[in-house]
Structure formats: C-alpha cells, structure tokens
C-alpha cells in the first residue's frame, strides 16, 4: 500500500530477450482451424503486443510460411518428438532456419490422449466427415465459408503442415505413419540428444515433479514449463499452482520456470508469478480471440490480459515486475 507510483511497467527479460510482459502464446495444434491462416494471425497479434508465440509441430501452416507472414514475430518452436529421429532433426533444422531460437520440447504427451469428445464429433487427422460433423459445419456457415472453404480452394483439406508429404498424401500407409507417430519411449537420453543438436535455448514442457525439473537442469535445459497441458491429457494431475512453489525452490537460479494451464485473467498470471514462475503461457485464451474476431480478436484478448495485469499490479503496489512484493520474488 501507499507505494506512490504513477504507472506500471510489465516488461521483463526472458531467456535473454526483452518482452512486453512475462507472457507467451502457448503452442496449440491446428490453430489454423480456428481461423484461416490462424497460426500466422496469432504470430502477428503476439508480435504487435511484443510477446513470443510458440509454433506447434502440429500447426496447419508451416513455420516457414508463418515467418513470411509475420517477419517481426518472435517465434519459438514446439517439438513433438517423432519416432523417426532423422525426420525430427530435419524439422528442427527448418525451425532454426526460420529464425526460431528457443525450442520447447513437450514431454507430457507420450500417447494420444483419450478425448472422447473428439471421437464423438468425428474429429481426427486425417479428417473424415461424418453425418454429425456435416450437420455441425452446416450450422456454422461463417466457419465453413471463412475457414474450411478457403483452405479447400487454396491448398486442400487442412492437415499437419510440417508432416512429410508422403505422410500427408498417403496417411493410411502404416510404415510412414509410424515414422511420425509420437515417440512414447521418449526418455532423458532423447533430451540429451536434443540438447546436443539444438543450437538455441531448450525448454522442457510438461513438468510437474521436482525430480524431473532437477533432471532437466542437469541435462543442460534452460527452462521448464510447469504444465498440466491445460488439463487436456490427464485430467486428474495435480495443478501447476500446487507444483510451482517446490519446483521453483529447487531449480531457481539454474532454470527459468514457465507455467501454464487455466490462465483466464491477468490475476491468474500474477498468481503463477506469485508462486514462483518467471512467465506464463496462454493456450485457449488467444484461440478464443482468434475464433471471435481473427487477428484483431487475438490481439484484443492479449491486450485485455495486459490491462488486467496492470490493474492487479496497481492493487499490489508494484510499478514493475521486479518490484512485485514477496512471495513474488
Ligand atoms: C487446442 C489446443 C491444442 C494444443 N496443442 C498443443 C501442442 O501442439 N503442443 C503442446 O505442447 N501443447 C499443446 N496444447 C497445450 C498448450 O500448449 C497449453 O499447455 C495449454 O493450453 C495451457 O492451458 P490453457 O489452454 O488453459 O491456457 C494445446 C492446447 C489446446 C487448447
């Protein structure tokens, strides 16, 4: 109370880069289905706001195309390790050549999650329309015309842009599908291998246990994301809010600690910072903005979070992130 400042500054340094606020747009597969060219729109929105955006291995649009559409954006690349390590390494070369300096390796998805709503709605890659999805699309003409039709007339049925042509074209050939299946045998040796071949910063996403955070530090990772994958993989996991304090205690100084899952308000960002995170990823929030109003909508949601953070900082008596009171620092 009574800290007597005029305005707040949210900017901070994250892994050596100055950013507008301790925020990132999280990697979200198939964001390009939410809006036509959705990944590029997210990248432009994040860039205008001044925060990084993480491009998913499973984006509709490739990292090269996103880079062309958002030349000023700070792109991070998110990797799902494929069984075929040579293909995986080639994908990383493409990410690096597209100016991604930071690599997020997601380790909390060894198999495809059991998403019954996707099965019920007939949603899968490759997409095969059924009665239910056809009716659903007919009831959403704006999406049908503005998203799906635009893909159909330009590049065909939207799919995973980074996957090799052979896989995209002949998705039913099991030998090829096997090559790009999620590697369920992933272990720390794979992380050491990635540390060896990736020239930039390495971030391990999906850590909830202190021991895993410590191992990440030992193999030379630069950061971790304390994440429950937004509750989308294993919905009975402990929450990041429960796990961050002990993890931050154990690895602060050795690792940058990022966090995500369930952030809906600026206050939620500040809660994660209070518990010990250095920055926070937003998954669904910018997607909802993108769905409602495209690039403008995504930017509006990000600016809303910045405003809410600013108000919360005022209530906390902090004029900058570094001045947040204990237990924030
Ligand atoms: C539609 C959707 C797709 C996602 N795809 C990925 C992905 O490809 N890679 C990944 O590491 N995380 C993925 N995630 C998880 C997010 O990166 C993030 O951990 C999570 O969404 C955070 O929770 P929030 O949505 O409540 O903010 C996805 C999340 C959503 C909602």
Q: Please tell me the distance from the alpha carbon of residue 228 to that of residue 231, in angstroms, as a whole number.
A: 5
pLDDT band at 171 (very low <50, low <70, confident <90, very high): very low
In this prediction, residue 112 carries a pLDDT of 86
Q: How far is the CA of 203 from the centre of ligand 1 (A)?
A: 15
Q: Roughly what angle, to the nearest 10 degrees, separates helices 240-251 and 210-218? A: 40
Residue 106 has pLDDT above 80, yes or no: yes
Q: What is the pLDDT of residue 118?
A: 85
Q: What is the pLDDT of residues 113-159, one digit of tens each?
A: 898 888 888 787 777 778 888 899 999 999 999 999 999 999 888 88
- What is the average pLDDT score of the chain? 93
* Residue 261 in contact with ligand 1 by CB distance below 6 A: yes
Give the nearest ligand 1 atom to 260 CA.
Answer: 22
Could you tell me which residues are beta bridge partners of residue 201?
A: 102
Which one is catalytic: 5, 140, 184, 229?
229
Give 329 Cα–ligand 1 centroid separation in angstroms. Answer: 27
- Indicate the SS3 state at residue 115: coil
With the most atoms of ligand 1 within 8 angstroms of its CB, the residue from 35, 39, 229 to mutate is 229
Task: For residue 314, count CB atoms less than 10 angstroms from its CB and return exposed for 0-12, middle for 13-18, buried for 19 or more.
Answer: middle
Does ligand 1 have an atom closer than 6 angstroms to the CB of 22? Answer: no
Residues 191/223, Cβ–Cβ less than 8 Å: no
36 assigned to active site: no
What phi, psi does 164 have (nearest 5°)? -55, 150
Residue 256 near ligand 1, beta carbon < 6 Å: no
Token pair in block for residue 103: 């690599």
- For the segment 280-295, the average pLDDT, to the nearest whole number, is 98
Strands 75-79 and 53-55: parallel
- In angstroms, what is the span from residue 17 Cα to ligand 1's centroid? 23
Nearest CA to ligand 1 atom 2: 28
Task: Name the closest-CA residue to atom 1, ligand 1.
Answer: 28
Cα 71 to Cα 64: distance, rounded to the nearest angstrom: 10
Q: Is any ligand 1 atom within 6 A of the Cβ of residue 27?
A: yes
- At 233-246, the pLDDT tens digits run 999 999 999 999 99
Q: Is the CB of 159 under 6 A from ligand 1?
A: no
pLDDT at 306 over 80: yes
Q: What percent of the chain has pLDDT over 90?
A: 81
Q: Do residues 220 and 194 make contact, with C-beta atoms less than 8 angstroms apart?
A: no
Residue among 268, 278, 281 nearest 228 (CA): 281
**For residue 172, pLDDT beyond 60:** no
Residue 197 near residue 81, CB atoms below 8 Å: no
CA distance 193 to 221: 11
Mean pLDDT of 293-299: 98
Q: For 187, how many CA atoms within 13 A lie in the half-sphere containing its CB?
A: 2
Instruction: Give pLDDT tens digits for 200-221.
Output: 999 999 999 999 999 999 999 9
Measured distance CA(104)–CA(119) in Å, rounded: 28
Ligand 1 centroid – CA 230 distance (Å): 6
50-102 confidence digits (pLDDT tens): 999 999 999 999 999 999 999 999 999 999 999 999 999 999 999 999 999 99
């Amino acid at each position: 109370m009574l800290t007597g400042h005029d305005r707040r500054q949210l900017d901070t340094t994250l892994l050596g880069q100055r950013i507008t606020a301790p925020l990132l747009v999280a990697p979200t597969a198939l964001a390009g289905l939410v809006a036509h060219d959705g990944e590029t729109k997210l990248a432009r929105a994040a860039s205008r706001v001044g925060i990084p955006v993480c491009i998913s291995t499973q984006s509709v649009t490739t990292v090269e195309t996103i880079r062309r559409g958002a030349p000023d954006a700070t792109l991070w690349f998110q990797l799902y390790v494929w069984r075929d390590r040579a293909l995986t390494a080639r994908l990383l070369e493409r990410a690096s050549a597209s100016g991604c300096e930071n690599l997020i390796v997601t380790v909390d998805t060894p198999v495809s999650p059991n998403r019954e709503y996707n099965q019920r709605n007939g949603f899968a890659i490759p997409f095969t329309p059924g009665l239910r999805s056809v009716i659903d699309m007919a009831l959403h003409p704006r999406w049908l015309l503005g998203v799906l039709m635009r893909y159909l007339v330009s590049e065909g049925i939207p799919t995973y842009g980074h996957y090799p042509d052979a896989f995209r074209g002949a998705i039913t050939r099991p030998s090829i599908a096997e090559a790009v299946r999620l590697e369920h045998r992933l272990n720390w040796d794979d992380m050491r291998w990635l540390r060896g071949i990736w020239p930039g910063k390495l971030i391990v996403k999906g850590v909830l246990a202190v021991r895993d955070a410590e191992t990440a530090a030992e193999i030379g990772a630069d950061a971790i994301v304390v994440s429950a994958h937004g509750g989308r993989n294993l919905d009975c996991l402990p929450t990041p809010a429960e796990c961050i304090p002990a993890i931050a205690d154990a690895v602060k100084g050795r690792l940058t600690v990022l966090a995500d899952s369930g952030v809906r308000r600026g206050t939620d960002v500040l809660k994660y910072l209070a518990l010990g995170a250095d920055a926070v990823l937003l998954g669904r929030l910018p997607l909802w903005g993108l769905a409602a109003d495209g690039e403008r909508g995504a930017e509006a949601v990000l600016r809303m979070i910045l405003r809410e953070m600013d108000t919360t900082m005022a209530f906390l008596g902090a004029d900058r992130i570094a001045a947040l009171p204990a237990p924030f620092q």
